[in-house]
């Protein structure tokens, strides 16, 4: 499977997990809030109902409210499940209390009051109402209901949601990978058809181009007429350009099908670089660009020699193409951890930030006039990237206009 699809599947699966987990977390938080609100309403309803039952049976004894008669005559059961019932005088002093322990402080501010009170040992919902006799304030009735069970239920709910999360993560991950594979399949199939077409077309074009080239060259050799010779040279030049384009497309198709992997062997990268660099010396000299071979640390990698050679050639060709007379191109090879880093830097025209993100796209030319004049079709760096990926490496570019460019290729060392 081509690398881009392997990445696409994982990327789709990753976003599917992120999306579903976000929805799950939002649902869990909302669930907690809804649960808490529902429980609060329920508690308030209970407190209001009890208040409505109690207020009419409160006696007024010596100007103070009292529930003693109610307790004696009406209520006989245990108080355990009830709120704490408290009666205060008009100054807020506790005068009677029934039921389980609570907080013996009046929380009313002269009006109906409902609030949650959190103290060290207690978390209670408080409901207090002012009591009047002939419009005169005689005291307060305050009910306090413990929220211990509500808090416990809420805690259990949150813990359960948290415990389910890792299982959901695995489930969503598997589902995400399964669905993304299904979603990517039609794209993969059309891509495969396109790739096959590209490979076949390039292959089919190869023979007629070679025939044109061979014939043009042989006629050129036989003919004396200079003007015809010049026209034939144009034909061979164009045919050669077409030949190299077809070669590039065939190589790209080969890379994307990972065919290069079958041709891997142990490569001494430093030696390979020395060979390619020495092949380029004359060309650089002819264009008055200095080619410096800096430290080349010995590095063995498991790869395809022809492709790696092509990678170095493409980068050196670009460095030369985009560096003016008097410029310098430097090549170095260093070991960084378990990777080998090949650096090719130049003092050339550089690349702007907006172009930097596109230079590895096929047929992309940041400076079309300069690139075309130098015979570039915008495939060189796509091939470099495909070769690097086929070797499980990565590429990094640092560049800015006028300040030159540095291409760093990281390839895993042979273990
Ligand atoms: P081309 O055949 O046009 O050189 P490439 O794929 O090799 O195609 O490069 C894509 C584009 O990236 C080029 O058109 C050029 O604008 C830019 N580029 C590549 N290498 C360099 C470099 N060393 N310095 C400046 N620009 C570069």
Q: Is residue 192 part of a domain?
A: no
Q: What per-residue confidence (pLDDT) applies to 66?
A: 92
Range of the domain at 306: 265-412
Q: Is residue 198 part of a domain?
A: no
Evaluate whether 183 touches 10 at the Cβ level (below 8 Å): no
The CA 378 to ligand 1 mean position distance, Å, reads 7
Positions in the chain whose pLDDT score sits under 70 = 1-7, 74-81, 256-262, 368-376
Q: Is residue 30 part of a domain?
A: no
Q: Is the CB of 308 under 6 A from ligand 1?
A: no
Q: Is the CB of 16 under 6 A from ligand 1?
A: no
pTM comes to 0.58
Q: Is residue 290 part of a domain?
A: yes
Q: What per-residue confidence (pLDDT) applies to 87?
A: 93
CA-proximal residue: ligand 1, atom 17 (nearest): 366
Report residue 241 as tokens. 């350009």
Ligand 1 atom closest to the Cα of residue 376 is 2
Q: Are residues 142 and 269 in the same domain?
A: no
Contacts of 256 (CB under 8 A, 6+ apart): 2, 3, 4, 195, 386
Q: Is residue 212 part of a domain?
A: no
The CA 320 to ligand 1 mean position distance, Å, reads 10
Classified as helix, coil or strand, 324 is coil
Q: What per-residue confidence (pLDDT) applies to 314?
A: 93
Q: Which residue has the tokens 């309803």?
A: 45
How far apart, in whole angstroms, are the C-alpha atoms of residue 182 and residue 8?
12
Domain boundary among 146, 166, 196: 146
The CA 411 to ligand 1 mean position distance, Å, reads 21
On the CB side of 187, CA atoms within 13 Å amount to 11
pLDDT digits (tens, 9 = 90+) for 98-129: 888 788 889 887 788 888 888 878 889 999 99
Q: Is residue 5 part of a domain?
A: no
**For residue 141, what is the domain's CATH number?**
3.30.450.20
Q: Is residue 7 part of a domain?
A: no
How far apart, in whole angstroms, are the C-alpha atoms of residue 334 and residue 203?
38
Angle at 165 (CA atoms; ends 159, 169), nearest 5 degrees: 170
Domain boundary among 89, 117, 146: 146
Q: Are residues 133 and 270 in the same domain?
A: no
Q: Are residues 276 and 141 in the same domain?
A: no
Number of domains in the chain: 2
Q: How many residues does the chain have?
A: 415
Q: What per-residue confidence (pLDDT) applies to 98?
A: 86
Q: Is the CB of 380 under 6 A from ligand 1?
A: yes
CA-closest candidate to residue 391, choices 311, 277, 272: 311
Angle at 368 (CA atoms; ends 362, 371), nearest 5 degrees: 85
The CA 359 to ligand 1 mean position distance, Å, reads 7
How far apart, in whole angstroms, are the C-alpha atoms of residue 192 and residue 262?
19
| CA dihedral sign, ordered 184, 187, 193, 196 | negative
């Amino acid at each position: 499977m081509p690398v881009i699809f392997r990445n696409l599947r994982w990327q789709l699966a990753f976003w599917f997990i992120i999306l579903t987990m976000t929805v799950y977390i939002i649902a869990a938080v909302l669930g907690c809030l809804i649960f808490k609100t529902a429980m609060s309403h329920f508690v308030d309803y209970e407190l209001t109902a009890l208040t409505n039952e109690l207020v009419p049976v409160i006696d007024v004894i010596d100007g103070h409210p009292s529930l003693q008669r109610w307790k004696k005559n009406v209520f006989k059961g245990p108080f355990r499940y009830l709120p704490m019932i408290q009666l205060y005088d008009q100054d807020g002093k506790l005068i009677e209390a029934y039921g389980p322990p609570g907080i013996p402080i009046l929380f009313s501010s002269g009006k109906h009051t409902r609030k949650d009170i959190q103290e060290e040992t207690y978390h209670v919902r408080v409901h207090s109402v002012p009591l009047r006799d002939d419009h005169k304030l005689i005291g307060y009735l305050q009910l306090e209901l413990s929220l211990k069970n509500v808090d416990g239920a809420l805690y259990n709910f949150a813990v359960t949601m948290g415990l389910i999360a890792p299982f959901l993560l695995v489930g969503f991950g598997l589902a995400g990978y399964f669905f993304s594979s299904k979603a990517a399949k039609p794209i993969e199939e059309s891509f495969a058809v396109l790739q096959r077409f590209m490979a076949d077309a390039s292959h089919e074009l190869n023979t007629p181009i070679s025939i044109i080239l061979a014939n043009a060259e042989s006629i050129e050799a036989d003919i004396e007429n200079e003007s015809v010779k010049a026209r034939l040279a144009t034909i061979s030049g164009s045919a050669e350009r077409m030949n190299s384009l077809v070669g590039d497309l065939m190589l790209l198709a080969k890379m994307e099908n990972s065919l290069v992997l079958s041709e891997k062997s142990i490569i001494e990268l430093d030696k390979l670089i020395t060979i390619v660099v020495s092949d380029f010396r004359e060309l650089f000299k002819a264009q008055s660009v200095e080619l410096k071979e800096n430290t080349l640390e010995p590095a063995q990698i498991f790869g395809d020699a022809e492709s790696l050679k092509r990678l170095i050639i493409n980068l050196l060709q670009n460095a030369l193409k985009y560096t003016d007379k008097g410029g310098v191109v430097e090549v170095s090879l260093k070991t960084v951890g378990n990777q080998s880093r090949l650096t090719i830097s130049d003092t050339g025209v550089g690349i702007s930030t907006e172009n930097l993100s596109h230079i590895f796209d096929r047929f992309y030319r940041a400076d079309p006039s300069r690139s075309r004049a130098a015979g570039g079709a915008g495939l060189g760096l796509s091939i470099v990237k495909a070769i690097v990926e086929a070797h499980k490496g990565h590429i990094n570019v640092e560049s800015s206009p006028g300040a030159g460019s540095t291409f760093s290729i990281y390839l895993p060392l042979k273990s």
